[in-house]
């Protein structure tokens, strides 16, 4: 008997993604984002949610290399490399428990510029869903770079 994973699936642009439910802090409606200077192209900005400044990552931009766009309907708050992040989503589709054997290993070219960030591919009737590995979504140096603009200066 294979183990199962409970995944939250969402769409951004023309792609579908999934993350383990255990890595999701919560899903919120989109809010206005503030621009962060000197950040990577995949950063759409930052927003204050529950008195915490959250950096927002655009998954479509992360994988394509194109600049992030701040428009989104939902924000999926997750933790990557022990740092809080928001993932922009056009729509949150489903929470489903999926047998592990239904998640295929990704082909070498899947994930574009970040193949290690894709843990597997789930085939659905409507689309292929990239199952994200949040521990490998960003590098530790990228996380350090992202939290620097949101850390208050010492008095």
Domain ranges of the chain: 4-150
E-only strand ranges, the chain: 4-12, 15-20, 24-29, 43-49, 52-57, 74-80, 83-89, 91-99, 103-104, 118-123, 128-132
Cα 23 to Cα 132, 134, 151: the distances in Å are: 11, 8, 23
Q: What is the pLDDT confidence band of residue 110, given thresholds at 50, 70 and 90? A: low
Q: Which fold has domain 4-150?
A: OB fold (Dihydrolipoamide Acetyltransferase, E2P) (2.40.50)
Q: What is the pTM of this model?
A: 0.86
- 115: three-class secondary structure by DSSP: helix
Give the range among 60-69, 87-96, 111-120 with minimum mean pLDDT: 111-120
pLDDT at 116 over 80: no
């Amino acid at each position: 008997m294979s183990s199962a994973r409970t995944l939250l699936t969402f769409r951004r642009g023309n792609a579908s993604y999934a993350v383990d439910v255990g890595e999701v802090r919560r899903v919120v409606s989109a809010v206005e984002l503030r621009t962060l200077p000197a950040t990577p192209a995949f950063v759409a900005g930052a927003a204050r949610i529950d008195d915490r400044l959250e950096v927002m990552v655009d998954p479509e931009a992360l994988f394509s290399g194109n600049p992030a766009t701040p428009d989104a309907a939902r924000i999926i708050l997750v933790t990557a490399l022990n740092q809080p992040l928001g993932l922009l989503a056009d729509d949150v589709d489903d929470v489903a428990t999926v047998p592990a054997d239904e998640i295929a290993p990704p082909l070498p070219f899947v994930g574009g510029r970040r193949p290690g960030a894709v843990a597997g591919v789930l085939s659905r009737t409507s689309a292929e869903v990239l199952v994200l590995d949040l521990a490998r979504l960003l590098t530790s140096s990228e996380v350090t770079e992202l939290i620097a603009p949101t850390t208050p200066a010492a008095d």
